[in-house]
Amino acid sequence: MREIVLDTETTGLDPYQGHRLIEIGCIELLNRIPTGQVFHHYVHPDRDIPEEAFRVHGISLEMLKDKPRFHEIADDLITFLGDAPLVIHNAAFDMGFINAELERASKPLLDRTRMVDTLLLARRKYPGGSNRLDDLCLRYRIDTSRRTKHGALLDAELLTEVYIELIDARQTTLILVENGKTQDRTPQQVAASRIRPQPLPSRLTAEELAAHRSFIATLGEKTIWSGYAGDKEGPASGQTGVEVA
């Protein structure tokens, strides 16, 4: 299953009050494992960046002076996202900005049913607790030492780790390693079968065996069960070898 973990940085809180997207970072997951494929762009917002927003992400208008406008990267973004579910923390915020930008660029909007909101997942799993991304990283002991400011791609990387923990998918990323080499282990290697050297004695009494043979006789000569109603050395007696793990 393909999924995209996504985060954005913006000039403010509401796209319908003139605020714009200035950074987008996306990470591709395949079966909950990062593939190494990312989509990351800074975007010129065609407006100023308020001081309070700059304090959060540290992105200035000067830094964006040679960056593309959103409409110039829109098609590449749409292609990268494909039809994959979108894993986002506080998804309504990021989806609101992306769809506002897509609308300005006259592109199809993203369907909100694609959202996998990790904030909602965290609230269900830890009701009453603080479920900001920073708090979840602390809960799961995820290293945030690189995160001196918010950044879309870095936050998407952290969110990828948080998401895997939230849905208890960490086991899928574990690899058994011995002496630095990956070990392929099959069920036969884990629990090899062998034939019991001394068959177990039958638990059936002579009376039970006689009753069984009498019942089989009532089923007719061609019944397949007649082959299992032999003497005490046959399968009905329990004297055959048994595979044990």
User: Mind spelling out the 3-state secondary structure of 142-195?
Assistant: CCCCCCCCCCHHHHHHHHHHHHHHHCCCHHHHCCCEECCEECCCCHHHHCCCEE
CB 170 within 8 A of CB 15: no
150 an active-site residue?
yes
| Beta bridge mates, 42 | 23
DSSP structural state of residue 109: P
CB 118 within 8 A of CB 162: yes
Residues contacting residue 217 through CB under 8 Å, at least 6 positions apart: none
Tell me, what amino acid is at 134? Answer: D
Residues contacting residue 199 through CB under 8 Å, at least 6 positions apart: 238, 239, 240, 241, 242
CB 229 within 8 A of CB 210: no
Q: How many other β-carbons are positioned within 10 Å of the β-carbon of residue 82?
A: 9
Q: Which of 19, 71, 150, 212 is catalytic?
A: 150
Burial 205-224 (b: 16+ CB within 10 A, else e): eeeebeeeeeebeeeeeeee
Q: Which residues carry out catalysis? A: 150
